[in-house]
């Protein structure tokens, strides 16, 4: 990955890029803790009938842009570089940009938002519409095709539920990390499986085939060795990678693994329900319709034991109007669609009702 200093990126591009016949474009960014994706799309009229497939002009990928992980300078460099690359690949340039939606993890407070907006404004002139949000927003928009309405449940290594109403209210649940009880997440599932092995070994819990399956997966010979393995590198993703083993054990009929997955489904559905309740997404009679976008490895496991399906079942019981969606496009495209949608709304000078 090339490193640029702020400003140099754009100077470099202006010298070398052949512009794409001056057509207007929008940029959508999804910045996660492992990678950052930017897509460039043409400024098409936003309507109920979007073209299929969507006209994505270019896609660029870079590293982490979470300022909590890499610091502000590196985060900014990464974001600037990936935007420049997407524009360059699409044969466009900075002056063709009409709107940017930047959805990055770690943007939680208005102060984070304002700081990112300020330096985006240094790059783009005042007529360019800028939207800065948490990455959950891109995930939601990838399911709703750019509409900022509904609830998104993300469950990968971590988990969070995020909801938005059409009149601009938002709420979240979970997303506080494993110490603060995100037990439905991939990390939570795997940590509980490891705990179950230790308990069985101690004689504090029932025997389970998780023991042989996970020890085999990790190439360990005894549960005692799990302590060393766990604390040698307690990275959440490394532990969460054991989720497929837990699912396989549950599918083989293991009661302990089965209960861990049921508990996870309960936790995840409770996060969604808390958001729906607080925002009144289900309407006054509790039966109103709203999009429920489901994203992340834990929910996408399309196996016999389907955690996502179990989560949806529990939500529908309380909120029959929930409309589950598994997105067909990636979150960065969701961000670009959101940029398009917001640009149209602002251009019309009024919010869509």
Binding site for a copy of itself (CB under 8 A): 108-109, 172-174, 176-177, 179-181, 191-192, 194-195, 198-199, 202-204, 224, 226-227, 230-231, 234, 239, 270-271, 273-275, 277-278
Of 143 and 188, the one with the shorter C-beta distance to a copy of itself is: 188
Question: Contact, 87 vs 42, CB < 8 A?
Answer: no
Cβ at position 179, least distance to a copy of itself in Å: 5
Of 97 and 243, the one with the shorter C-beta distance to a copy of itself is: 243
Of 188 and 334, the one with the shorter C-beta distance to a copy of itself is: 188
Question: Contact, 341 vs 154, CB < 8 A?
Answer: no
Question: Contact, 336 vs 26, CB < 8 A?
Answer: yes
Of 19 and 113, the one with the shorter C-beta distance to a copy of itself is: 113
Task: Give CA separation, 194 vs 78, 229, 245, 327, in Å.
Answer: 36, 11, 11, 31
Of 236 and 343, the one with the shorter C-beta distance to a copy of itself is: 236
Stated as kind and residue range, the H or E segment containing 151 is strand 150-155
Instruction: At 100, list the tokens.
Output: 């940017």
Question: Contact, 191 vs 178, CB < 8 A?
Answer: yes
Cβ at position 282, least distance to a copy of itself in Å: 14
Of 11 and 176, the one with the shorter C-beta distance to a copy of itself is: 176
Which of 131, 145, 118 has its CA nearest to residue 54?
Answer: 145
Cβ at position 5, least distance to a copy of itself in Å: 29
Cβ at position 40, least distance to a copy of itself in Å: 33
Instruction: Mention every residue, 6+ apart, whose C-beta is less than 8 A from residue 186.
Output: 155, 156, 157, 158, 159, 240, 241, 243, 296, 297, 298
Of 95 and 235, the one with the shorter C-beta distance to a copy of itself is: 235
Cβ at position 241, least distance to a copy of itself in Å: 14
Cβ at position 71, least distance to a copy of itself in Å: 15
Question: Contact, 61 vs 36, CB < 8 A?
Answer: yes
Cβ at position 348, least distance to a copy of itself in Å: 34
Cβ at position 108, least distance to a copy of itself in Å: 8
Question: Contact, 268 vs 159, CB < 8 A?
Answer: yes
Instruction: At 180, list the tokens.
Output: 């603060």
Of 223 and 321, the one with the shorter C-beta distance to a copy of itself is: 223
Number of H helices, E strands in the chain: 14, 10
Which of 89, 96, 97, 108 has its CA nearest to residue 37?
Answer: 89
- With 0-12 CB in 10 A as exposed, 13-18 as middle and 19+ as buried, what is 3? exposed
């Amino acid at each position: 990955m090339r490193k640029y200093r702020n400003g140099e990126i754009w100077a470099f591009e202006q010298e070398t890029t052949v512009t794409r016949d001056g057509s207007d474009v929008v940029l959508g960014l999804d910045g996660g803790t492992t990678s950052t994706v930017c897509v460039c799309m043409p400024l098409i009229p936003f309507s109920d009938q979007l073209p299929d497939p969507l006209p994505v002009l270019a896609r660029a990928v870079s590293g982490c842009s979470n300022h909590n992980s890499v610091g502000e300078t590196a985060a900014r460099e990464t974001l600037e570089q990936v935007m420049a690359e997407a524009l360059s690949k699409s044969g466009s340039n900075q002056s063709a940009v009409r709107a940017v939606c930047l959805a990055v993890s770690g943007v939680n407070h208005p102060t984070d938002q304002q700081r990112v907006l300020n330096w985006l404004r240094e790059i783009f002139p005042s007529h360019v519409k800028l939207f800065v949000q948490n990455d959950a927003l891109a995930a939601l928009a990838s399911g709703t095709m750019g509409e900022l309405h509904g609830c998104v449940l993300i469950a990968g290594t971590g988990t969070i539920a995020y909801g938005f109403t059409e009149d601009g209210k938002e709420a979240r649940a979970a997303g506080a990390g494993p110490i603060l009880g995100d037990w439905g997440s991939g990390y939570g599932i795997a940590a509980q499986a490891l705990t179950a092995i230790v308990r069985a070994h101690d004689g504090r819990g029932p025997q389970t085939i998780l023991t042989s399956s996970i020890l085999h997966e990790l190439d360990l010979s005894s549960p005692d060795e799990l302590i060393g393995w766990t604390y040698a590198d307690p990275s959440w993703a490394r532990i969460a990678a054991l989720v497929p083993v837990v699912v396989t054990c549950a599918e083989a009929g293991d009661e302990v693994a089965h209960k861990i997955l049921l508990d996870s489904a309960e936790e995840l559905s409770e996060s969604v329900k808390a958001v729906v309740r607080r925002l009144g997404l289900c309407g006054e009679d509790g039966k109103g319709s709203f999009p429920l976008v489901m994203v992340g490895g834990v929910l996408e496991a399309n196996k016999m034991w389907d955690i996502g399906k179990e989560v949806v079942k529990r939500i529908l019981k309380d909120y029959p109007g929930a409309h589950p969606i598994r997105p067909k496009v990636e979150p960065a495209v969701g961000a670009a669609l959101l940029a398009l949608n917001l640009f149209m709304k602002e251009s019309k000078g009024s919010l869509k009702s």
